């Protein structure tokens, strides 16, 4: 199909912003996406209509209960799980800290956890701290710097019957690399280890199917896929039943509520459902069977984003002084997220200059501290990160390429 990017962009009020008369190009999607009008209206409708905490015997309490149920159903359709396997929290980091403490209750000296040199720190530090609390050992799966990605052969060499959990990203928020999580899961399960997957960066770009992956936990963040700031965790129901979470005494004893500390942000959950419906409607399929619509839409998104990647990668290949850190094949295992360096420019200065031109990108380590450290880039300020999403246009890609060409030439690129 012809991808309806113009129609999709028309749904986003944020795209009306300009800089010096030029439309802003939001190329900072890996750090957070804009939201469609439907998400704004869903949040507004909940707040205007009146809502109360759940568990009351009156109408506005029932409204909130319905909002929570709808959000669980929507997220189950997005990741391919069941509504009773969906846990909400403030963000992925908070959920992971809470889950790591709960899961690690059964660990002790002699146990091991494996993390990777590619991951965002939110899928490293919580496990390192939980292991330290229980006297368990942490092992790092090495980074293959040529890609960069996880060295899966090295990861598998770390697995034995003492490993209790493997924490791995589905896609790198720094370099866009997609990891073969299904392979990690097969290897980890052979030694009886659980697999906790950071899907924050993968979810906006590619279809998630937790059943196909075979993982035990999968976490993502609403504000990375065109929704509000809500963290979401999918966990196998049998595991959620087994794990004893930290909770206050009046809290629900059964999952998923047992894992949700405090009152949920009901208005945000209303927006989260609208964000999933937005994604499900991209391919134009009826949302009656939302999972089926999600599958069709995310396949369309992936195809469109590959074309944007092809355009960008071909463009920077002809600009002297631009170094790409990541896969240079648009058809390879990657999302449309690119980490670059430009000769003569510090990352922060380059991002600032692009921002003045209405091209919004990130500079630094983006909380991917471990891979930046292993590549020797931390002390130099990291890299510049460019991230496309399904509402990015080819015109925006061309604007960016033109600006990069001018800026590289202005500093006497190689």
Beta bridge partners of 219: 198, 233
**Domains of the chain by range and CATH?**
5-36+302-410 (3.90.1150.10), 41-279 (3.40.640.10)
Residue located via tokens 């928020």? 173
CA dihedral angle for residue 285, residue 286, residue 292, residue 296, rounded to 10 degrees: 10
Please give the pLDDT value at position 136: 98
* Predicted TM-score of the model (pTM): 0.97
- The answer to whether the Cα torsion of 101, 260, 196, 238 is positive or negative is positive
The model's pLDDT over 221-241, given as tens digits with 9 standing for 90+, comes to 999 999 999 999 999 999 999
The model's pLDDT over 211-223, given as tens digits with 9 standing for 90+, comes to 999 999 999 999 9
Digits of tens for pLDDT over the chain (414 positions)? 589 999 999 999 999 999 999 999 999 999 999 999 999 999 999 999 999 999 999 999 999 999 999 999 999 999 999 999 999 999 999 999 999 999 999 999 999 999 999 999 999 999 999 999 999 999 999 999 999 999 999 999 999 999 999 999 999 999 999 999 999 999 999 999 999 999 999 999 999 999 999 999 999 999 999 999 999 999 999 999 999 999 999 999 999 999 999 999 999 999 999 999 999 999 986 657 999 999 999 999 999 999 999 999 999 999 999 999 999 999 999 999 999 999 999 999 999 999 999 999 999 999 999 999 999 999 999 999 999 999 999 999 999 999 999 999 997 644
Give the side-chain half-sphere CA count within 13 A for 181: 29
Q: How far apart are CA 33 and CA 46, in angstroms?
A: 22
Of 191, 35, 165, 31, nearest to 106 by C-alpha is: 165
Q: How far apart are CA 182 and CA 187, in angstroms?
A: 9
Tell me the angle at which helices 59-79 and 266-280 cross, rounded to the nearest 10 degrees: 40
């Amino acid at each position: 199909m012809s991808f309806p990017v113009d129609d999709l962009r028309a749904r986003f009020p944020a795209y009306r912003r300009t800089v010096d008369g030029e439309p802003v190009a939001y190329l900072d999607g890996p750090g957070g996406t804009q939201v469609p009008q439907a998400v704004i209206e869903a949040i507004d409708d909940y707040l205007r209509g009146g809502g109360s905490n759940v568990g009351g015997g009156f109408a506005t309490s029932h409204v909130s209960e319905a909002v929570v149920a709808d959000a669980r159903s929507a997220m189950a359709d997005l990741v391919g799980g069941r509504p009773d396997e969906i846990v909400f929290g403030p963000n992925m980091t908070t959920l992971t800290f809470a889950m790591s403490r709960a899961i690690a209750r059964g660990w002790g000296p002699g146990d091991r956890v494996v993390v990777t040199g590619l991951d965002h720190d939110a899928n490293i530090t919580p496990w390192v701290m939980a292991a330290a609390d229980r006297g368990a050992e942490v092992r790092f799966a090495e980074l293959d710097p040529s890609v960069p990605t996880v060295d899966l052969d090295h990861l598998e060499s770390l697995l034995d019957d003492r490993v209790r959990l493997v924490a791995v990203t589905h896609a790198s928020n720094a370099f866009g690399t997609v990891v073969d999580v299904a392979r990690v899961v097969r290897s980890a399960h052979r030694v009886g280890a659980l697999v906790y997957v950071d899907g924050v960066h993968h979810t906006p770009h590619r279809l998630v199917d937790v059943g196909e992956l075979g993982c035990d936990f999968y976490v993502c963040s609403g504000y990375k896929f065109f929704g509000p700031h809500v963290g979401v965790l999918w966990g196998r129901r049998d595991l959620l039943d087994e794990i004893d979470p930290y909770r206050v005494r009046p809290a629900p004893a059964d999952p998923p509520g047992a894992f949700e500390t405090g009152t949920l942000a009901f208005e945000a959950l209303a927006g989260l459902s609208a964000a999933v419906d937005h994604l499900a409607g991209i391919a134009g399929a009826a949302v009656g069977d939302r999972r089926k619509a999600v599958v069709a839409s995310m396949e369309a998104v992936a195809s469109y984003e590959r074309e944007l990647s092809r355009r960008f990668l071909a463009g920077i290949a002809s600009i002297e002084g631009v170094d790409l850190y990541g896969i240079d094949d648009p058809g390879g295992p990657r999302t449309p997220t690119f980490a670059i360096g430009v000769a003569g420019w510090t990352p922060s200065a380059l991002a600032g200059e692009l921002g003045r031109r209405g091209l919004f990108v990130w500079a630094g380590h983006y909380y991917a501290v471990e891979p930046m450290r292993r590549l020797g880039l931390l002390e130099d300020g990291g890299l510049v990160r460019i991230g496309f999403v399904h509402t990015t246009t080819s015109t925006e890609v061309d604007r960016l390429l033109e600006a990069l060409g001018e800026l590289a030439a202005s500093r006497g690129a190689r």
